[in-house]
Structure 1
C-alpha cells in the first residue's frame, strides 16, 4: 500500500441532517492509494478494506458508458472479472456474485413512507429491492425508473445476522453451496456460547467491490478502519427483502458518531481503482484479529457542487474457503 497522506479538513462536511445516526466528520480523512500488486491481505484483515488496480474490459473500446447498462455484457465481462479478482485477493476457493447497485444521480433525502406503506412492506418484503430473480444476481440502478444516488448514511452492508440470513435466503445456488456451513452454524448455535464459540465449519465471508465509471469529483466513498469502530457505535436497521422462501429478515448496521473513528478515502479515484470492503466470519471467533464489516458512505466534498453526479457500480459477493 502506498504512503498515506492527510486530506484537507474542509474535504469533509457532515451529511445533511437525518433522523438516522451519522458520524462526526470534522476530523481529516486519510487518502489511500491503490496497491500495485494483488497482495493486500494485511489491509483486508487488519483494516477491513483495500484499494486495488483493476481495469475492466467494459472501460475500454469497443465498449462505452452505455455498455454498463447491458446485463448480458456485465454478466459476460464484469462479473467474471470480479470473481477472478476476489479469488486472488482473498485466497478463497469460490466466489459467487450476490448482486450490485449502480449509482448515477445526485443524492436526494428519502421521503418517509406512509404508515400503510410500512405495513405493506412488512407483509410483502422491502420494495426498494430489485425484482426477485431466483437464478441470477440482483442488480438495481441501471433502469431509468430505479436510478440510485450515493449512499450518504454511514453503514455496514451486513450485520452478522444479516449476512447469515442472506446466505440462507438470497438465492438457491448460494444456499446449496453453503449447505455445510449452515448445518455447522445450526449445530454450533445449539451449544452454550453459540456460533461465536462453537462454529467448526469452513470459513466464508461477504465482500463489496466499488468502482467509479469515471473519475470521482464529487461524493467520494469513505470507509472507516475496522479497529476504530466499536460495537456501541453501531445501530441495527432491519430490512425484509424477497428471498427463495419469501420475505426474510436481514439487517444493516448504521454508524453513530465516534470520536475515535479513522476514515479513509481514495482521492480522485479512477475507474481502474477498485475499493474492496468486507464482512468475514473469521472475525467472530474468540480472540480473532481478523477485521469484520466496516462503515462506509459517500461524503460531501467542498467545492464540488458544480460537478456532475458520480457514477459508480457496487458489486457484492460471497466467498467460500
Structure 2
C-alpha cells in the first residue's frame, strides 16, 4: 500500500473542505472496498478523510412518511431495523443477500452504493482498463466476460455494478442527499446517481469530488410483496450473476408488477420502468423480454438472457406462494 496521510474531521463541513483542499484525497467510511483497492494499487489516494464520526448514523422518519437513512448507518443495522423490515422488506432482504456478516457490520449505506466494480480486468493492473486508466482500452472486450454486462454497457467498458443494496434502492426510488465544500446541498434520485460508461467509464457517478453523501431517503412504503432473489456462482458471499428486486401485488390470481430492478446485468442497477407497466396478465417471459430489450451479450455471458427469464419467473411464482400461504411480507 502506498503511503498516505489521514485525517479525522470533527464536522461534515471540515470533511468536505479537506477533500477539496487535497487533490489526492478520498473519503473513507467502512473501507470494505477502498482498502482492498489500495492494497492492490488500483486506487492510491494521497490523503484519507475519515467520515465515520460525523453523526451520520441515524435512521429517521421523514415528514412525508418515508425514511431518512444516515450515510454511515451500517448495513447490518439497516437490515435489522424494525421499520425497514416491516415497510421496506425488499431492502432488508437485499442487504442480507450481500457479503458476510462481518462485512455487513462494517460497510456503510453510502459506501455500499458507491462501491466499485468487481470486474477482474479492473483489479488486474497488468490489463488495460478504461475505468482504472482512462484511454488505456478494455481488455474485457476480448477476454473472459462470464459475469460482465449485457445491458447499458459501451464499447469502452462492460463492467457491472456489484451492489445488492443499490438494486433494492433503485426499485424503491431512493434518493441521496449530499453536501459540498461550499455548503451547497443536493438531492439526487438514485436513477441519476450512476452515469452510463459511454466514453468515460472512469466517471461512475454524478457526484463532484468534494461532494459527500450525508443520507439516503426512501419515499413512503409501497406495500405489496417484497422479494429479492439472487443467483450467484456459489451459495454465499458472491456477487450476483443475476438478481431481481421485485415489489408486486396479486390481482385476480395473477402477479402484478409494482416495481422491479435487476443486478448483475449492467454498470448500474437496471430498471426499465415501461416493463413494470405491461398489461395485466403479461407473462414472466414477456416482461423479461421487455427488460432485456437492446441487450448485447457476448459468447461468454449470453446465458444471462435465459437466466433473467428463469429468475423473474421463479420470483413471480414465489409471490404467488407467499400470498397463497397468507405469509406476512
Higher relative contact order (CA 8 A, sep 6+): 1
